[in-house]
Structure 1
Amino acid sequence: MADSGGTDDVISADEEQQAARERRLAAWRASARALARGAAEHRIGERLARLAAEPPAGYDLDAGVDLYGDGIVEELELRVAGLLGMESAAFFPTGTMAQQIALRCWAGRTGSPVVAVHPQAHVEVHERDAYLTVSGLRAVRPTTEPRLPTAEEIRDLDEPFGTLALELPLRDAGFVLPAWDELVAVVAAARERDAVVHFDGARLWESTVHFGRTLPEIAGLADTVYVSFYKSLDGLSGAALAGPESLIAEAKAWRHRYGGALFQQWPAVLSALAGLDRELPRLPSYVAHARVVAGALREAFAAAGVAWSRIHPEVPHTHQFQVWLPYPARTLDEAGVRLAEETGTTLFHRWHEPGAPGLAMTEVTVASPALDWAADDVTAAAHAFLARVREIAAAAG
């Protein structure tokens, strides 16, 4: 009987979590206003209809489907190589696969299995140590500070390394980027150490504003660059690895070995091409408006007398940034859902407590839906959100 009771408790908790998720999604989907629409808010029929109604510019939907990476896949690869100013590019079903193959290829060419990488980088935090466990590589840490490493830190590493991997922007540290001169110096320091440079550029597309440089200028600093099609371009999935023609040819061989040579990929590729048409030109406006939104939130929190709050970075480097508030994540999640249900406005999505309990953080994305929000709209929504936070906190005692 004791075992049965324990199972009932587990099932009950799972059902409670599922009910909470369904409630959140229903509230977000029904909201008339939001700063961005997350992938979980979309429905299959809506995405299929949009693919058919808004195909990439000039693409003939009567063309044949791709088979094992030909046709439309090759068109996307050519376009990405051109946009980044690289010799060649390869499409991958996931960024995790693209990253570990890139690092594996460079390890073979440099003769060194050692990768210099930040401990908060995507390959360390979100890929289940794929490059370590699958490819047998090893990491060294230039810095543990919540920022990209400096040139001095690269020069001072006390052991050799074959590849320097830089995530631009460094998402888990707050979507932060170095200054352009700092990035140039870091790359130069790696080359002084006879290392190659790989950019994890999943969100590189929106970094042009902060750097004040074009995509080819940014990508041109690195030997290889990985970019994502769904994180900022609203694609269904997929990634690309761009670099020298010979390395990309080798990467395609490894792509086949890793199971990445899919029979057909046209839905993801169509959405990627459409994202390059539709979202890529808009990203600078999203970055500019993110700074308006961040400033309005900061002023609203101060005016409301919040004991402590933080917008990080204070001036966002891209169209994404962190918001920190001194309340439990559960309280903030509930306040956000109530705000959406009662006013039709989604201001924040999920909150997390990555540090001390009772201190929560959320990531804010400013995309096309946010462009209709003036600073006063953000301020009003923030005050309405905080009012619900305080109601919930007071009820909890």
Structure 2
Amino acid sequence: MADKSERDERRRRLEAWRASDRVLWRASADQRVGERLAALAADAGGVYDLDEWTDIYGGGVVAEVERRAADLLGFPAAAFFPTGTMAQQVALRCWAGRTGNPTVALHPVSHPELHERGAFGAVSGLRTVHPTDEPRPATAQEVRDFDEPFGALMLELPLRDAGFVLPSWDELVEVVDAARERDAVVHFDGARLWECTTHFGRPLDEIAPLADSVYVSFYKSLDALSGAVLAGPEDLVDEARTWRHRYGGQVFQQYPAALSALLGLERELPRLPSYVSHAKVVAAALREGFLEAGVPWSRVHPEEPHTHQFQVWLPYGADALNDAALRQSEETGVTLFRRWFTDRCPPGVSVTEVTVASEGLEWTGEDVRRAVGAFVERVG
């Protein structure tokens, strides 16, 4: 549990970000409760008839989210889950029963391995293996050559902790084919699949059905309160609903999350390609800005972002960078960076994640370079 100093520091950051006139994006969690509720009440009528009855253990607006998601993703059925962690445990558990093999091949920096406290093994009886530990998606050859059988190949698209990186379309097709050659099913961890269409040059209903099933999140890119869906064949989704109940995911009422998901599909989803395009402008300007500011070394990864999110690496400690970022927000009303970390970084190097969303579209390359200069001045 966070102590008082940590809570105070978080409050200070939230106040600074909220008060900033210029940001590259605003996270929904940065808002106060009243603001979030007021916005949902004001906007939800545009995507759903608010005179309809509330959902009870599914149905109603929850069923509408499931229908919309299944159509968008090109699958016959979808089930709404309170979290992606639960959705993916259920999906891989169901596939293990069908294949007879509880081993899941995935990347060692994929979300279930880094951020779910070993849930696949501790809760679902699954075992994980890694076809590669390189900081990129596995190749078809690595999948073919892996030296033990697995029942499912799980691909995180994009691979967030490696820098929101994606394979090319041809590489993705080859990897899927390689898994099928080994009689394995393929599941896409598509928490951020929504923004992959620009990189792949394909619509969602062509990308997602490459896999046997897919999970997508509604809050990571679509600004919803929470929630996810698992999409796939009808028999898999029917079984997933049963396991959802057993896992405690049969929530009595979910209309706030479901309404916010519909708003995300209606409003944010069509705008994601513009965010991806402008992220390339921001990334290039960041590189130029660090050069102009005399930073001895920097890395923007990928150099040309695959989605609207990417990493920035700098040769300073996280404390110094976090202090500079926060002071820039408070002193200038400009938030360029949010939080810096040292996880999996070489000594003396820190990394941050940059997201470009609607507010970021207003930034020119010159705006970014100027903000970089002001940031570096504060690093000291």
Q: What range is the shorter-chain TM-score in?
A: over 0.9
Matched, 1:173 2:162: yes
Matched, 1:373 2:375: no
Matched, 1:249 2:238: yes
Report the AA paired with residue 61 of structure 2.
Answer: I
The equivalences for 1:17-96 within 5 A come to: 17-55=6-44, 57-96=46-85
The equivalences for 1:1-397 within 5 A come to: 14-55=3-44, 57-354=46-343, 355-390=345-380
3-state secondary structure, aligned to 1:54: helix
Identical residues among aligned pairs (%): 68
Aligned partners of 1:28 and 1:190: how far apart in 2?
Answer: 44
Q: What is the RMSD computed on CA atoms of the aligned residues?
A: 1.2
Aligned partners of 1:226 and 1:371: how far apart in 2?
Answer: 28
Report the AA paired with residue 302 of structure 1.
Answer: L
3-state secondary structure, aligned to 2:91: helix
Report the AA paired with residue 334 of structure 2.
Answer: T
Report the alpha carbon displacement of residue 20 of structure 1 after superposing the two structures with TM: 1.9
Contact 2:27–2:223 (Cα < 8 Å) also in 1 = no
Aligned partners of 2:192 and 2:219: how far apart in 1?
Answer: 9
* Number of aligned residues: 379
Contact 1:107–1:162 (Cα < 8 Å) also in 2 = yes
3-state secondary structure, aligned to 1:279: helix
Report the AA paired with residue 358 of structure 2.
Answer: S
3-state secondary structure, aligned to 1:322: strand
Contact 1:242–1:248 (Cα < 8 Å) also in 2 = yes
Give the TM-score normalised by the residue count of structure 2.
0.98
3-state secondary structure, aligned to 1:323: strand
Aligned partners of 1:56 and 1:366: how far apart in 2?
Answer: 28
Report the alpha carbon displacement of residue 234 of structure 1 after superposing the two structures with TM: 0.1
Which region of structure 1 is more displaced relative to structure 2, 247-256 or 52-61?
Answer: 52-61
Report the alpha carbon displacement of residue 31 of structure 1 after superposing the two structures with TM: 0.5
Contact 1:57–1:277 (Cα < 8 Å) also in 2 = no
Aligned partners of 1:232 and 1:164: how far apart in 2?
Answer: 24
Which region of structure 1 is more displaced relative to structure 2, 84-93 or 133-142?
Answer: 133-142
Aligned partners of 2:142 and 2:66: how far apart in 1?
Answer: 35
Aligned partners of 1:261 and 1:255: how far apart in 2?
Answer: 6
3-state secondary structure, aligned to 2:321: helix
Report the alpha carbon displacement of residue 26 of structure 1 after superposing the two structures with TM: 1.1
Which structure has the bigger radius of gyration? 1
3-state secondary structure, aligned to 2:44: coil
Contact 1:56–1:277 (Cα < 8 Å) also in 2 = no
For 1:134-168, what per-residue CA distance to the aligned partner results, in whole angstroms no more than 9, with x for missing partners? 11111111000011100000000111111000000
Aligned partners of 2:126 and 2:52: how far apart in 1?
Answer: 42
Contact 2:216–2:228 (Cα < 8 Å) also in 1 = yes
Give the TM-score normalised by the residue count of structure 1.
0.94
Contact 1:201–1:226 (Cα < 8 Å) also in 2 = yes
Report the alpha carbon displacement of residue 19 of structure 1 after superposing the two structures with TM: 2.3
Contact 2:47–2:262 (Cα < 8 Å) also in 1 = no
Aligned partners of 1:225 and 1:325: how far apart in 2?
Answer: 35
Question: 1:145 and 1:305, CA in 2 relative to 1: closer, same or farther beyond 3 A?
Answer: same
Report the alpha carbon displacement of residue 56 of structure 1 after superposing the two structures with TM: 5.9
3-state secondary structure, aligned to 2:304: coil
Contact 2:48–2:61 (Cα < 8 Å) also in 1 = no
For 1:290-315, what per-residue CA distance to the aligned partner results, in whole angstroms no more than 9, with x for missing partners? 00000000000011111110000000
Contact 1:89–1:241 (Cα < 8 Å) also in 2 = yes
Structure 1 segments unaligned to the other structure (5+ residues): 1-10, 391-397
Contact 1:170–1:177 (Cα < 8 Å) also in 2 = yes
For 1:78-97, what per-residue CA distance to the aligned partner results, in whole angstroms no more than 9, with x for missing partners? 00000001010000000000
Report the alpha carbon displacement of residue 317 of structure 1 after superposing the two structures with TM: 0.3
Contact 2:143–2:179 (Cα < 8 Å) also in 1 = yes
Contact 1:25–1:40 (Cα < 8 Å) also in 2 = no
Report the alpha carbon displacement of residue 127 of structure 1 after superposing the two structures with TM: 1.2
Structure 2 segments unaligned to the other structure (5+ residues): none
Contact 1:229–1:238 (Cα < 8 Å) also in 2 = yes
